């Protein structure tokens, strides 16, 4: 019963963080993060009242439209809030009340913001990559089973090959992707970084094939690689040891 009670409160707290994350994703690419303190409707510019900012519930109550101008509000907003609301108790159930909970939750929030902005703009803001640095540093003290030398190797294990490919092949990888994997490499250590990149390649390759087959993209067209990298990183952060053990077990290792 205690876990249920704590999870319910964490869901509320997580959904509030999700609401703030929506603001970051909307404003950061526009360089207007602090231009207007209060939330406002992008269509009419009207300041949104506090009772219309309740995560998930307000969107449902308003029928997905602005109260004043009736402009459509993307369902992505409540979905992000719902995802973050579910993520918080899942982190608690995975790690309990531990520093790992805060690091895993914080990292995943930033990775989600990176993914959404990359999908919208094909760019990864340096500020979000920098925001990951304190969490990567904190992981050194929290996940002590990963030695510092493994983290140092992880920093370069994927990012350096990506950089070399970008120099040799124009448009192979963006600078944001390279910097993201450098920080995530230090966060995860080289084993989990390689796992994260393998997952990203599988996801990215699968998406590319589907887009080409459905003629939504032409062969050779650029697609944002940030979201697959973020999914791979999150999977390796939460389940890296289990996934590596399962994979090696398939070969009797």
Q: Are residues 222 and 152 in the same domain?
A: yes
Q: Are residues 90 and 131 in the same domain?
A: no
Question: Are 123 and 139 a contacting pair, CB within 8 Å?
Answer: no
Q: Are residues 19 and 80 in the same domain?
A: yes
Judge whether residue 206 has pLDDT over 80: yes
Confidence of residue 172 (pLDDT cuts 50, 70, 90): confident
Q: Are residues 145 and 232 in the same domain?
A: yes
Tell me, yes or no, whether 117 lies in a domain: no
DSSP-based three-state secondary structure for 185: helix
Which residues are bridge partners to 40 per DSSP?
47
Q: Are residues 74 and 20 in the same domain?
A: yes
What is the average per-residue pLDDT within 55-80?
93
Tell me, yes or no, whether 143 lies in a domain: yes
Tell me, yes or no, whether 157 lies in a domain: yes
Q: Are residues 93 and 127 in the same domain?
A: no
Q: What is the largest CA-CA distance in the chain?
A: 63
Phi, psi of 47 (to 5 degrees): -65, 135
**Mean of the per-residue pLDDT values for the chain?**
90
Q: Are residues 133 and 51 in the same domain?
A: no
Confidence of residue 43 (pLDDT cuts 50, 70, 90): confident
- Evaluate if pTM is beyond 0.85: yes
**Helix 226-249 with 99-121: angle, nearest 10 deg:** 130
What is the average per-residue pLDDT within 63-67?
91
Tell me, yes or no, whether 71 lies in a domain: yes
Confidence of residue 7 (pLDDT cuts 50, 70, 90): very high
Q: Are residues 76 and 164 in the same domain?
A: no
What is the average per-residue pLDDT within 54-67?
93
Tell me, yes or no, whether 109 lies in a domain: no
Question: Are 114 and 124 a contacting pair, CB within 8 Å?
Answer: yes
d(CA 105, CA 116): 17
pLDDT of 99 reads 94
d(CA 191, CA 150): 8
* Residue 215 backbone zone (phi > 0: left; psi -120 to 50: alpha; other: beta): left
Judge whether residue 127 has pLDDT over 60: yes
Residue 69 tokens, joined: 């101008």
Judge whether residue 32 has pLDDT over 70: no
Residue 147 tokens, joined: 């030695």
Q: Are residues 152 and 66 in the same domain?
A: no
By residue range, what is the domain housing residue 250? 123-253
pLDDT of 125 reads 94
pLDDT of 48 reads 86
d(CA 135, CA 98): 14
Give the E-state strand segments of 127-172 in sequence order: none
Q: Are residues 245 and 208 in the same domain?
A: yes
Tell me, yes or no, whether 105 lies in a domain: no
DSSP 8-class letter at 158: T
Angle at 183 between CA 177 and CA 187, to 5 degrees: 130
Number of structural domains, the chain? 2
Out of 124-133, 201-210, 239-248, the most confident range is: 124-133
Of 44 and 25, more confident: 25
Judge whether residue 211 has pLDDT over 90: no
Tell me, yes or no, whether 12 lies in a domain: yes
Q: Are residues 173 and 245 in the same domain?
A: yes
Q: Are residues 138 and 229 in the same domain?
A: yes
Tell me, yes or no, whether 108 lies in a domain: no
177 C-beta neighbours (distance < 10 Å), count: 25
DSSP-based three-state secondary structure for 80: helix
* Residue 63 backbone zone (phi > 0: left; psi -120 to 50: alpha; other: beta): left
């Amino acid at each position: 019963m205690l876990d249920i009670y704590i999870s319910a409160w964490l869901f509320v707290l997580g959904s509030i963080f999700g609401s703030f994350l929506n603001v970051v994703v909307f404003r950061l690419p526009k360089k207007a993060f602090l231009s207007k303190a209060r939330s406002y409707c992008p269509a009419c510019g009207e300041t949104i009242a506090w009772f219309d900012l309740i995560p998930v519930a307000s969107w449902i109550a308003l029928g997905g439209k602005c109260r004043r101008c009736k402009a459509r509000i993307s369902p992505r907003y409540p979905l992000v809030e719902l995802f973050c609301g579910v993520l918080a108790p899942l982190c608690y159930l995975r790690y309990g009340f531990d520093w790992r909970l805060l690091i895993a939750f914080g990292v995943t929030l930033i990775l989600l913001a990176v993914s959404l902005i990359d999908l919208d703009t094909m760019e990864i803001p340096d500020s979000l990559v920098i925001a990951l640095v304190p969490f990567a540093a904190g992981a050194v003290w929290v996940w002590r089973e990963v030695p510092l030398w493994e983290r140092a190797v992880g920093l370069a294990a994927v990012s350096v090959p990506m950089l070399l490919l970008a120099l040799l092949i124009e448009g192979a990888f963006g600078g944001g992707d390279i910097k993201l994997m450098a920080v995530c490499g230090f966060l995860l250590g080289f084993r989990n970084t390689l796992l994260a990149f393998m997952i990203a390649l599988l996801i990215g390759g699968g998406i590319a094939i589907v887009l080409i087959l459905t003629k939504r993209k032409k062969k050779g067209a650029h697609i944002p690689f940030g979201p697959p990298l973020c999914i791979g990183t999150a999977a390796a952060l939460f389940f890296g040891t289990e996934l590596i053990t399962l994979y090696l077990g398939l070969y009797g290792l």
